[in-house]
Structure 1
């Protein structure tokens, strides 16, 4: 029997994840069954269960990818000296995360934030997913703290405010924008960027 290449295995796993993401984005976690996923990806049960034991493992894999995308975006930013200002940086992260949705075939960027909100809700009843989210949040928070510390080291931000406090506020901005996208429909990323620029201009106006 011919051996299946790792490239083929990776592509099949990607196919399953992409199909599950589309299903969850359309109908939510609870209204989506594994049969729905099987029909979406046009594979047998045996082919899918070779990679994932069930719906919750699929959800966990998707959540991990989302968190890793955000973390990697801010780790990349932290390597800049200094990083881009917060309005630019947050816009870049949002575009990168929403861009992942388009690359993976999620129908419409507004659908991806809907799935994120569903994940947050699911963590209230699913302890294993809650642990995963907390672990992912800590890794994301660490990357954002590095960004804030880079701002402070470059003299671009007050150093007397704990970097973690600023990092949590930046995270909340992204989460809040995603929630608005999910609840009220698609909004251009430059809306939140302009809002941040307005807030950041208060000191400039006073100084002028």
Structure 2
């Protein structure tokens, strides 16, 4: 019985992943607005009714994609922390990974930007998996900023929450930029300027 349940669960996970992957393909090709549930399920080679066994709407898929992104960011940050890397390096890495994901999945950008005002810890994504609150990526930056201030790496005369807002706004500024600079490079340049402004320089640097 346990083996049978195991196969059933694996099949469910495979179907869910197939739907997510198909949605990414269709959103990338046709855009979020012009992609229908039928398009997604045709791409996944599954019946339309199966969609609603896993998701309530197309919008819920965006939450799940953001959840994927947060997991990727946090895994890299955990690895850097384990290697005792400085907070400035963690912040730069988090910004870089986020920029790459948003550049490759532009249809997620509006939800990502709105998340700044709609939730707290990225760990609270469990609700995002089920279509709840949009994940708050700003809090990922806040945690690093608190760590950096405690370690004396970042200036302490500015609240971490304010600095985190500035980092979060970089993505919107890059997305709306009229400069002939690719999105990821635009984010990287703005990120460097912010880091230069908040990092405490040691003597001789």
Query: What is the TM-score with the length of structure 1 in the denominator?
Result: 0.64
d(CA) in 2 for partners of 1:163, 1:121: 18
Q: Please say if 1:163 is aligned against 2:155.
A: no
Q: Relative to structure 1, is the Cα distance of residues 165 and 73 closer, same or farther in structure 2, using a 3 angstrom cutoff?
A: farther
**In 2: Cα distance, 1:96 partner to 1:121 partner:** 16
Are positions 1:17 and 2:20 aligned together?
A: yes
C-alpha deviation, 1:33, in angstroms: 0.7
Deviation at 1:118, TM superposition (A): 4.5
* C-alpha separation in 2, matches of 1:146 and 1:194: 22
Structure 1, unmatched stretches of 5+, are 102-108, 124-128
* 1:50-129 matched pairs, under 5 angstroms: 50-70=53-73, 73=76, 81=84, 83-85=86-88, 88-97=89-98, 110-112=103-105, 114-119=106-111
Offset at residue 180 of structure 1 (A): 5.5
Summarize the alignment of residues 26-41 of structure 1 with structure 2, pairs less than 5 Å apart.
Answer: 26-41=29-44
Kept after mapping to 1: 8 A contact 2:23/2:40: yes
Cα RMSD for the two superposed structures: 4.1
- Secondary structure of the corresponding residue to residue 25 of structure 1: helix
Report SS of the residue matched to 2:69: helix
Given the two structures, how large is their TM-score scaled by the length of structure 2?
A: 0.65
Partner of 1:48: 51
Work out the CA distance in 1 between the residues paired with 2:48 and 2:78.
38
Secondary structure of the residue that 2:13 maps to in structure 1?
helix
Distance 2:155 2:196 in 1: 15
Task: Indicate conservation of the 8 Å contact 2:37/2:51, yes or no.
Answer: no
Rounded Cα–Cα distance in structure 2 between residues aligned with 1:141 and 1:199: 15
State the alpha-carbon separation in 1 of the partners of residues 171 and 51 from structure 2: 33
Q: Which runs of 5+ in 2 are unaligned?
A: 116-127
SS in 1 for 2:133: helix
